[in-house]
Amino acid sequence: MTQTSSQEAAAESPSTAESTAPTRRELNKAATRSSIASAALDLLRSNGSGNFTVEDIAAAAGVSRRTFFNYFPSLEAALASVADGFMDHALEQFRLRPADESILESAQAALMALADPMSVAPMAELFSLTQDNRQLARSELEAWEHCTEQIIDAARSRLGAGISELYLHALAGSVISCGKAAMNVWFADRGPDLSAESLAVLRQHLIDAMGLLGAGFAPPSDAPVPTSPSAPTTTDRF
């Protein structure tokens, strides 16, 4: 590299760094969004499902009803967003994994990197608090849908724009189904227990579910081996 090109690169570096840093407006918008989501979760905790409105959330967050709808299309969407942090952190870890590693190995490693079991607390609490209300269960569905979209985007970035859309959607759907299975097994065993010990169990269920998917759901070593000649076997790997 010539001296001139080096100077040009040095001159461009600050502007590049500045362009990637969030603006004050973006930071303010993120703070408002987080405040609304936190207010929604606080009201769900204190009032119970079905006992508060969009107006209540807006008042608790110190914003207008109009501002609420600038950020969220519904009460359920505001609640669903409380799970965004966990997924964002998991995807950050996923993107740090080697590019030649399989998607599911990277997903499992990303979950293992989130060593603090409390990282899954918002998602677990939302799941627990919405189980007894069919309408608010839509919040959970919206959270899973958002996670699906993020997984598809992350996988596409890893594998390239030419990857099959069927593959991406099937992969994301499989990951989400395993996540739901882990949540259901955890809740059936632990109920609304959000202690660090309980959340550590949930975190391990999520890791193990990714492992099962990556192994093609091969039976555990201590499980009975199917004897039916028609039982299919698979060695497929994602």
pLDDT of residue 218: 81
Question: What average pLDDT does this structure show over 78-101?
Answer: 88
Element (H, E) at 70: helix 65-71
Amino acid at 152: I
The predicted pLDDT at position 38 comes to 92
pLDDT of residue 7: 47
Task: Tell me what the mean pLDDT of segment 127-150 comes to.
Answer: 80
Which percentage of the chain shows pLDDT scores above 90? Answer: 46
**Rounded Cα–Cα distance for residues 176 and 171 (Å):** 9
pLDDT given for residue 233 in this prediction? 44
pTM of the model: 0.75
Higher pLDDT, 143 or 170: 170
Phi then psi for residue 199, to 5 deg, are -70, -30
pLDDT at 12: 44
- Sequence-ordered strand ranges (E) for the chain: none
Average pLDDT of the chain to the nearest whole number: 83
